[in-house]
Chains A and B, each alone.
Chain A
Amino acid sequence: MVGVKDIVHVDGMPTCAGSDVPAEALAGAEASLVGRLREAGALVAGKTVTAEFAVTAPGPTRNPHHLGHTPGGSSSGSAAAVAAGMVPLAVGTQTIGSMIRPAAYCGVVGFKPTHGRISSDGVIPNAPTFDTVGLFAPDVASLAPAAAVLCDGWRPSGEGGEGGETEERRRPVLGVPLGPYLDRADAEARNSFEERAERLEDAGFTVRRVPFPDDFERVVAEQRVINRYELARTHAAWFPRHGERYRAQTVEAIREGQRLSHDAYAAALRARAAFRERLVAAMDRDGIDLWITPAATGPAPYGLKSTGDSVMSLPWSYAGAPALALPAGRAANSLPLGVQCVARPGVDERLLGWAPDVESVLVGPSAPV
């Protein structure tokens, strides 16, 4: 049984994308990912709530761990449905932090593969060069078979190459990216993360602490240019006809994108390509297999008017890298915290192959689900 985010077209179910725009205006052919899941034997339990058009305006979903807190977003319903035990698997999407953050807030595993690794046909876009389909499940063992079904060209263990058995059996070298990026986590999340990093070292993992990225504020600015420019183009046909039905946060984001020039967008794309190269070069230079970071800036904030801050996912989504949120204890208010693992673009098999070993150390005695 699988929940499917309501920006993914499923035959027989209207797609409203969390909006008041008529479903007929948004209709489209069933996403091929849904066909793959059905062919593997899955049944669609239902559509799950999304922030409007997978941007920021939240839906009604509450955090199962504390109903007064946000579950995160934009894949709010998918994360909450798994956390509440309603379904053991759910499909989400991530543009910047729309899976990793809700996974952390809800205490479940969230997998955002390399950009483009799961087909996004039949999925209403947000910013297509970021948008990535992914999965939520209670643990890595439950998630991995579904990833193998959905990811193009999946190479299971033992077949060599990037997903090879030898590489997966080797313990990954972990990297902690020091600097302005990590400083965006709040004190509680940072302290918990450091404790988890030490726990991983005690368990025999090599953990290297290195400055990265050196131009974080520029990365933040450039991703916003790409994100907003593409969002405005995604809504170029719908917005003029149905804009009065859009919520203020979405309107503001689209208007921002409309004001951006193509030259600014092209420059941001070039900057992103260069960042991707620097990311891989940094991992090569320091011998890092996986970055580990807090999966969110802290536990789920109180209230339902915001889905929280996506910044901890930002550089990795910007680079199109695969990321995994793993439950990692609880905050003082008993809400879940998570650790994010990020691999080089394209090595999704290795990320999921290494993950159970990391997961077993992170969950420890205070398993959040």
Chain B
Amino acid sequence: MDTSCVTAAARTCDRIDAADGEIQAFVPERGRRERLGREARAADERWGMRPGGRRCTGSWWA
């Protein structure tokens, strides 16, 4: 399974796109996917690509 932050960020954006039109839990943000993608790439570089080294995809915020 791909556990990179980039993949996790994309999944999160997919979930928000799918559900938030009805629920409106998030303040609308133009360019969320691009911003999160940038931050996720930086996190992958910072935390490394080895298994267990990618803290943003840990169990509490994957």
Q: When A12-B35, A85-B19, A143-B60 are in contact, do A1 and B8 touch as well, CB less than 8 Å?
A: yes
Which positions 45-61 of chain B face chain A at CB distance < 8 Å? 47, 54-56, 58-61
**Interface check A94, CB cutoff 8 A:** no
In chain B, residues 25-50, which have Cβ atoms closer than 8 Å to a Cβ of chain A? 25-27, 29, 32, 35-36, 39-40, 43, 47
Q: What is the size, in residues, of chain A's interface with B at 8 Å between Cβ atoms?
A: 41
Interface segment among A59-67, A246-254, A358-366: the answer is A59-67
Interchain nearest-CB distance for A238 vs B (Å): 19
Asked if A84 and B25 make an inter-chain contact with CB atoms under 8 angstroms apart, the answer reads yes
Q: Known contacts A86-B12, A86-B20; is A78 also within 8 Å of B61 by CB?
A: no
Q: How far is the CA of A77 from the CA of B27 in the complex (A)?
A: 8
Q: How far is the CB of B32 from chain A (nearest CB, A)?
A: 6
Interface residues on B, range: 20 to 34
Neighbouring B residues of A16 by C-beta, 8 Å: 27
Known contacts A46-B26, A49-B24, A86 near B16 by CB under 8 Å: yes
Provide the residues of chain A in CB contact with B5, threshold 8 Å.
43
Q: Give the nearest-CB partner of B27 in chain A.
A: A47
Q: Which residue of A lies closest to B62 (CB)?
A: A88
Partner of A46 from the list B29, B54, B55, B61 (CB cut-off 8 Å) is B29
A324 an interface residue at 8 Å Cβ cutoff? Answer: no
Q: How far is the CA of A61 from the CA of B27 in the complex (A)?
A: 10
Give the complex CA separation of A177 and B20 in angstroms. 39
Nearest-neighbour CB distance to chain A for B45, whole angstroms, equals: 13
* CB neighbours of B59 from chain A (8 A): 141-142, 145
Are A61 and B43 CB-contacts (below 8 A) given A1-B12, A43-B9?
A: no
Q: Which of A3, A12, A59 sits near B24, CB closer than 8 Å?
A: A59
Known contacts being A1-B8, A78-B25, is A84 close to B19, with CB within 8 Å? yes
Q: Are B25 and A76 closer than 8 Å at their CB atoms?
A: yes
Please state if A48 and B26 are interface contacts (CB–CB under 8 Å): yes
> Which applies to chain B's interface (DSSP): helix, strand, loop or mixed?
helix
Cα distance A87–B14 in the bound complex, in angstroms: 11
Closest residue of B by beta carbon distance from A16: B27
A86 to B22, CA, bound (A): 12
User: Which one of B20, B40, B61 lies within 8 Å of A2 (CB-CB)?
Assistant: B61
How far in angstroms is the closest Cβ of chain A from B2? 15
Asked if B23 CB lies within 8 Å of chain A CBs, one says yes
Contact A61/B25 with A1-B9, A45-B16, A86-B20 known, Cβ cut-off 8 Å:
yes
Contacts of A6 in B (CB 8 A): 27
Are A46 and B27 in touch, CB under 8 angstroms?
yes
Q: 0/1 per residue, A78-107, Cβ < 8 Å to B?
A: 101100111111000000000000000000
Q: Which residue, of B5, B25, B29, B43, has the highest number of chain A Cβ atoms within 10 A? A: B25
Asked if residues A64 and B23 are in contact (CB atoms below 8 Å), the reply is: yes
Q: Are B40 and A43 within 8 A (Cβ)?
A: yes
A294 vs B37: C-alpha distance when bound (angstroms): 41
Q: How far is the CA of A2 from the CA of B5 in the complex (A)?
A: 13
Docked CA distance A49–B27 (Å): 6
B47 contacts across to A, CB distance below 8 A: 41
Do B43 and A43 have beta carbons less than 8 Å apart?
yes
Are B23 and A41 in touch, CB under 8 angstroms?
Answer: no
Q: Which residues of chain A come closer than 8 Å to B32, judged between CB atoms?
A: 45-46
Q: List 11 A-B contacts (CB under 8 A).
A: A1-B61, A3-B26, A6-B27, A40-B55, A45-B32, A49-B24, A62-B23, A85-B15, A86-B15, A86-B19, A86-B20
> 4 nearest interchain CB pairs?
A41-B55, A81-B25, A80-B25, A77-B25
* Sample of 5 further A-B pairs with CB below 8 A, known A12-B35, A47-B29, A84-B20: A1-B56, A41-B54, A42-B61, A59-B24, A81-B25
